Amino acid sequence: MKASPSGDERAAGVSERAYRSLLRAYPRELRDEYGDEMALCFRDLCREELEDRGGLGLAALWARTLTELLYTALKERRSVLAGNTYRSVFGIALATAFLLLIPLLAAPAWTLGDFVTAGALIFGTGLAYVLVAGKGGNIAYRFAGGVALAAAFLLVWINLAVGIIGEPDEGANLMYIGVLAVGIAGVFVARFRPQEMARALMATAFAQALVAVIALIFGLGSGSPPGVLGILILNGFFVSLFVASALLFRHAGREHTPAGAGQEG
Partner 1 sequence: MGGEEVGGERTSDPGDLIPLTSAALNVLLALADGERHGYGIMLEVKERTGGRVRLGPGTLYGAIKRLKEGGVIEECGRRSGTEGDDERRRYYRLTGFGGEVLAAEVERLDGLVRAARRKGAFPMPKPEGA
Return the residues of window 13-32 that contact partner 1 according to CB under 8 A: 19, 26, 30
Q: How far is the CB of 132 from partner 1 (least distance, A)?
A: 24
DSSP-based three-state secondary structure for 264:
coil
Confirm or reject binding of residue 72 to partner 1 (CB under 8 A).
yes
Confirm or reject binding of residue 5 to partner 1 (CB under 8 A).
no
Nearest in space to 235 (alpha carbons), one of 256, 258, 217, 210: 210
Question: CA 49 to CA 185: how far, in whole Å?
Answer: 53
Question: CA 253 to CA 256: how far, in whole Å?
Answer: 5
Q: Is 45 or 179 the residue whose CB approaches partner 1 more closely?
A: 45
Confirm or reject binding of residue 41 to partner 1 (CB under 8 A).
yes
Whether residue 258 has a cis bond before it, omega within 30° of 0: no
Return the residues of window 156-195 that contact partner 1 according to CB under 8 A: none
Q: Is 5 or 168 the residue whose CB approaches partner 1 more closely?
A: 5
Confirm or reject binding of residue 81 to partner 1 (CB under 8 A).
no
Cβ-based neighbours of 96, under 8 Å, separated by 6 or more: 119, 122, 123, 126
Q: Which of 69, 144, 200, 234 is the binder for partner 1 (CB under 8 A)? A: 69
Q: How far is the CB of 36 from partner 1 (least distance, A)?
A: 6
Neighbours of 192 (CB within 10 A): 24
Question: CA 186 to CA 136: how far, in whole Å?
Answer: 20
Confirm or reject binding of residue 34 to partner 1 (CB under 8 A).
yes
Confirm or reject binding of residue 73 to partner 1 (CB under 8 A).
yes
Q: Which of 11, 12, 45, 144 is the binder for partner 1 (CB under 8 A)? A: 45
Pair 173, 159: CB distance under 8 Å: yes
Backbone angles phi, psi at 205, to 5 degrees: -60, -40
Find the part of the chain contacting partner 1 (CB under 8 A) among 41-49, 89-97, 180-188, 229-237: 41-49
Confirm or reject binding of residue 139 to partner 1 (CB under 8 A).
no
Which parts of 163-255 fold into alpha helices (H)? 175-190, 194-217, 227-255
Q: How far is the CB of 20 from partner 1 (least distance, A)?
A: 11
Site residues for partner 1 per CB under 8 A: 19, 26, 30, 33-34, 36-42, 44-45, 64-65, 68-69, 71-73, 75-76, 79
